[in-house]
Chain A
Amino acid sequence: MNAIVLSETRGPAIMPPDPILSLEDLSVVFGDLVAIKALSLAVRRGEFVSLLGPSGCGKSTLLKAIAGLVPPTGGKIVRAFASMSASFMFQKPLLLPWRTALDNVLLPVEIERGGNAVDSSDRRNAERMLNLVQLGEFAGAYPHQLSGGMQQRVALARALISNPDVLLLDEPFGALDELTREVLNEELIRIWRSMETRLSTVIMVTHSIPEAAAMSDRVIVFSQRPARIVEDVPVDVPRPREPGDVRSAAFVRRIRALIRSGR
């Protein structure tokens, strides 16, 4: 028990068995289009789960349903506790160009406060978030002065400032070049495993098999639309992982075969 308390990391080792989020027979229908049909999935606290599948299969819709952006047509989404909070991160940084990096990070706080202006402790908190994503020196920079990767770091800091339990990522670094993307993936894992935020659980939509395998505890492989779970593949490679650790592993071949079989 002591070892767990002192542990600097979170992840499968200290994962309690009960789910933080469960989808029960979830369906999402847009008019004639069935995006998701009677899908059930439980995500445990502390897990990093990837949703992998062909484009247009409905995995993004699933993530948006979890975020409350898309109303479920059937079934339900059960949160482990009422105060559970989730932040959504998009493929694009979506920074407000008229705000500095710091003020962009503060946006969720401002919105939560309503009429009340943010105070100096909020500003310190935003600075801490920028430090966490290694952009402490760029607090006063405007988005157009930052590179694509830096903008996405600011977006990550903005997603983390409300201290969410769950982070929902929709192909978060998909618009970036390969190298930047790899670095940011590693940063994300570092932040997820560190104790600096309350963040415990990450659900990430991706269509990159190596990325899903390198980052996740579990890869959920989806079929073509309507999204159905083809297989739930655990990635039991110890952390910290090196990029090479998963590349040739058996489950990567299995995932690839599953996707190729086109089920």
Chain B
Amino acid sequence: MIARAAPPLAFGALAIVVWQAAVMIGKVPEYLLPSPTAILATFDLSLLKQFGVTFLEALAGFLIASVLAFAVATLFVRFHLLEEGLFPIAIAVKTTPIVAIAPLLVIWLGTGWWSKIVAAVLICFFPVLVNVVKGLKAADVEYLELFKTLGASRSQEFRKLRVPYCLPYLFSALKISSSLAVVGAIVGEFVGATKGLGYLIIISSAHLETATLFSAIIAAAFAGIAMFYAIGFAERRLIFWSSGGGE
């Protein structure tokens, strides 16, 4: 683990040193490219607060979307007509860019938490829905026959076979949607907000406070990475029998 992390850390450190040196020697103005030390100076409590806002919005959207998508997927698999009727509509909604919908969400839900949470829900919902529908149907026909010979009820088949079988599919979708959740929250903040990393990015860019802009970008990236790794950690703990499901 440590041995594997060493080379990228070394190269990263080298890049930062080169960056610092280039900015100092070339006397690059800070609004164009701030030095790493200048960026580091902008990491403060207020950045942490904005990070917390965005992270919570993303997390809430992610959780709501995951539960909702799982429930809808269950209904789709159970009632085929629902799937046939709603899946094409779901795909149509999915292909609409979230950036295009976000202003509407602000009109409807205001500039508070909910417009960002709903933006995150919208962006997270579909990957989970698609993969869970696929995963719930993924159990081999032979396993279904086994359950039939054992006299299993529909709900036993669902709980003891289909749901565990679906977990690798669920988690590969959760890893995608966890980083997308941060995108949704930030897009929501771009359109109308008074706090959060998206708000900070817009404001610092307008004022050419490029060092702050950089720290906000880094914090946003960190939010996505943190979510992704948390899901990956849970996945390895929970799904020890599989090396990952389909996309």
Q: Does A98 belong to the interface (CB within 8 Å)?
A: yes
Q: Give the number of residues in B that approach A within 8 Å (Cβ atoms).
A: 21
Please tell me if the beta carbons of B143 and A94 are within 8 angstroms of each other in the complex.
yes
Please tell me if the beta carbons of A107 and B241 are within 8 angstroms of each other in the complex.
no
**Which residues from 202 to 226 on chain B have a C-beta closer than 8 Å to any C-beta of chain A?**
none
Please tell me if the beta carbons of B143 and A69 are within 8 angstroms of each other in the complex.
no
**Which residues from 71 to 126 on chain A have a C-beta closer than 8 Å to any C-beta of chain B?**
87-88, 90, 92, 94, 96-98, 107-108, 110-112, 114
Cross-chain contact of A69 among B145, B153, B167 (Cβ < 8 A)? B145
Please tell me if the beta carbons of B240 and A111 are within 8 angstroms of each other in the complex.
no
Per DSSP, chain B at the interface is helix
Write out the residue numbers on chain B whose beta carbons fall within 8 Å of the beta carbon of A108: 150
Cross-chain contact of B152 among A68, A69, A96, A111 (Cβ < 8 A)? A111
Please tell me if the beta carbons of A111 and B149 are within 8 angstroms of each other in the complex.
no
Q: A108-B150, A111-B151, A112-B151 are in contact. Are A96 and B164 (CB under 8 A)?
A: yes
**Which residues from 124 to 148 on chain B have a C-beta closer than 8 Å to any C-beta of chain A?**
140, 142-143, 145-148
Write out the residue numbers on chain A whose beta carbons fall within 8 Å of the beta carbon of B194: none
Please tell me if the beta carbons of B146 and A90 are within 8 angstroms of each other in the complex.
yes
Q: Does B78 belong to the interface (CB within 8 Å)?
A: no
How distant is the Cα of A110 from the Cα of B147 in the complex, in angstroms? 12
**Of B145, B150, B151, B156, which is in contact with the most chain A CB atoms at under 10 Å from its CB?**
B150
Please tell me if the beta carbons of B241 and A111 are within 8 angstroms of each other in the complex.
no
Whole-angstrom distance between the Cβ of B172 and the nearest chain A Cβ: 16
How distant is the Cα of A64 from the Cα of B141 in the complex, in angstroms? 14
Q: A69-B149, A96-B161, A107-B150 are in contact. Are A90 and B142 (CB under 8 A)?
A: yes
Please tell me if the beta carbons of A107 and B160 are within 8 angstroms of each other in the complex.
yes
Please tell me if the beta carbons of A111 and B145 are within 8 angstroms of each other in the complex.
no
Whole-angstrom distance between the Cβ of A226 and the nearest chain B Cβ: 22
Please tell me if the beta carbons of A92 and B160 are within 8 angstroms of each other in the complex.
no
How distant is the Cα of A111 from the Cα of B167 in the complex, in angstroms? 21
How distant is the Cα of A90 from the Cα of B146 in the complex, in angstroms? 8
Write out the residue numbers on chain B whose beta carbons fall within 8 Å of the beta carbon of A107: 150, 160
How distant is the Cα of A94 from the Cα of B147 in the complex, in angstroms? 10
How distant is the Cα of A90 from the Cα of B80 in the complex, in angstroms? 29
Whole-angstrom distance between the Cβ of B147 and the nearest chain A Cβ: 8
How distant is the Cα of A15 from the Cα of B149 in the complex, in angstroms? 27
Q: Does A67 belong to the interface (CB within 8 Å)?
A: yes
Q: Does A198 belong to the interface (CB within 8 Å)?
A: no
Nearest-neighbor residue (CB-CB) of B156 within chain A? A111
Please tell me if the beta carbons of A97 and B241 are within 8 angstroms of each other in the complex.
yes
Q: A110-B160, A111-B156, A144-B241 are in contact. Are A94 and B146 (CB under 8 A)?
A: yes
Q: Does A142 belong to the interface (CB within 8 Å)?
A: yes
**Of A92, A98, A110, which is in contact with the most chain B CB atoms at under 10 Å from its CB?**
A98
Q: Does A172 belong to the interface (CB within 8 Å)?
A: no
Write out the residue numbers on chain B whose beta carbons fall within 8 Å of the beta carbon of A144: 241
Write out the residue numbers on chain A whose beta carbons fall within 8 Å of the beta carbon of B156: 111, 114
Binding site for B on A (CB under 8 A): 64, 67-69, 87-88, 90, 92, 94, 96-98, 107-108, 110-112, 114, 142-144
Known: A88-B146, A98-B167, A112-B150. 20 other contacts (CB 8 A): A64-B145, A68-B148, A69-B148, A94-B140, A94-B142, A94-B146, A96-B160, A96-B164, A97-B241, A97-B242, A98-B164, A98-B240, A98-B241, A107-B160, A108-B150, A111-B150, A111-B151, A111-B156, A114-B153, A114-B156
4 smallest A-B Cβ distances: which pairs?
A: A97-B241, A88-B149, A111-B152, A111-B150
Binding site for A on B (CB under 8 A): 140, 142-143, 145-153, 156, 160-161, 164, 167, 239-242
